Homo-oligomer: A and B are copies of this chain.
Amino acid sequence: MTVLDFPIIQGRGFRNVEDGGRVTGFQFQLRNPNYRGGPASLIDGIEVVVDGERVPDHVPLWTLQGRTMGLEELRASTDVRWQLDEPATITVPFPGGLAVGVHRLEVTVFLRRSYFPPMVARSQFTATGSGVIVPPAPAGGIRHGVSTYSYTGDVNTSMTLEDVFADIADMGATGIEILGEGNLPGYPEPDPAWIDGWHDLVQRYGVTPTNFGCWVDTTRYPGRDLTAEEGAEQLQLDLRLAHRLGFTSVRPKFGVVSWDLDPHPIWQETLERSLDLAAELDVVICPEIHAPTPIRHPVTQGYLDFIEKTGTGHVKLLIDTGIFQTAVVRENAEDLGTDDEDDVPPPLRPLRVPMADLVEVLPHTHFIQAKFFEIDDDLNDLHVPWGDIVPTLEAAGWSGWLSSEYEGRREPYRGRDQVRRQHALVRSLQRGARS
């Protein structure tokens, strides 16, 4: 099941519409602002102001129960309803449509209410909000996905797992990344019915499972460290679960032993013990390169040496784009006490990893977590230089998933809006972008 957004203007469904190859307007979705649903004949129009430009209340079209109607048809209708659980789709004629990016919407819905005194029975409901027009994904090696991490706090509260799929599909993305010990009810033994439901969502929304996040919690047991045998048991459990759900890579997050995020020494044996299974399932194990560890660093080199030494095709790097940050993050999901760059603890300072370093490891890079924190109304990312990263990936001919990982402030619906912004921004920077 899906749920609706509390704000009247819904996040999903904001898009340009075409007719005969020409862009003729835009569309958005609106939940019923009244406390009851009712016959559509009681709808009395909607005024839309987009970026300050007013569209009169009799102009937009309404779609309810799959039928699209103008205001007069709506008033004359006898068998159409605006239910509380079914958003109306509003189509606004607007030649050329809206540009890619963030737009401000102000709407006034008019509803006739029989139970209000006649002089005030045509009542008004106003709502304001913004929406993001996301362009289609350009063809090429970069594939666009989203991690459920982006929706932390929203999942299980203001969105269901199906809403995650629906959001991803709605913005024309095609990949879903999940956190095993996060999104699997009953982990590590999800109900078979849940697994069936998962495959049903994958089918229905046309979304591909990409990467499965897992953890090797080396401090899991107080008083002693996890053994390599236990680490391998954990990783193999996750490899099997991931495979069962259709994922093609697993990111094990190892416990660390230093400020530089040196992984616990069991990492190597944990991987060695799991290589055969990874090959058998054809799932790639992806250690993660995450700030404050840059690319030119013994940790990264250790993984590369491992790949070379073992000759495995089932261990590759996962790059978290936080390593390319150019500015201190003041919009973090968790308050880490950051402030001016000179005052912040060294592990939180922007790493500014150069593109040349990225180019060097791209042949060993299977997956990119497109970490970001804040994209403003003009589609400027305040911290991560997509204008450098995207052309670098394209020039190198890299192909793989770029999977949105929003890590900014956790407020309801915020991650969902920010992910749309990121997809709009990144796709605009790609070759063959449509504005």
Contacts and interface: CB of A to CB of B under 8 A. Distances in A.
B115 A253 contact: yes
Contact of A182 (B84, B114, B115, B179): B84
A377 interface: no
Contacts of A76: 222
A66 interface: no
Which of A149, A215, A412 is packed against the most chain B CB atoms within 10 Å?
A215
A259 B120 CA distance: 9
B84 A155 contact: yes
Interface string A334-352: 1000000000000100000
A24 interface: no
Given A37-B181, A38-B217, A149-B35, A156 B85 contact: yes
Contacts of A157: 3-6, 31, 158
Contacts of A22: none
A339 to B, nearest CB: 17
Contacts of A78: 221
B261 A117 contact: yes
Contacts of A31: 156-157
Interface in A220-268: 220-222, 253-259, 261, 264
B155 A158 contact: no
Contact of A221 (B41, B154, B187, B259): B41
29 contacts: A1-B1, A1-B160, A3-B3, A4-B156, A5-B157, A36-B181, A37-B187, A38-B181, A38-B215, A41-B220, A41-B222, A42-B217, A42-B219, A76-B222, A78-B221, A83-B185, A83-B186, A85-B185, A112-B219, A114-B216, A114-B217, A114-B218, A114-B254, A115-B255, A117-B256, A117-B261, A118-B258, A157-B158, A412-B412
Interface of A: 1, 3-6, 31, 35-39, 41-42, 75-76, 78, 81, 83-85, 112, 114-119, 121, 125, 149, 152-158, 160, 179, 181-183, 185-187, 213, 215-222, 253-259, 261, 264, 333-334, 347, 412
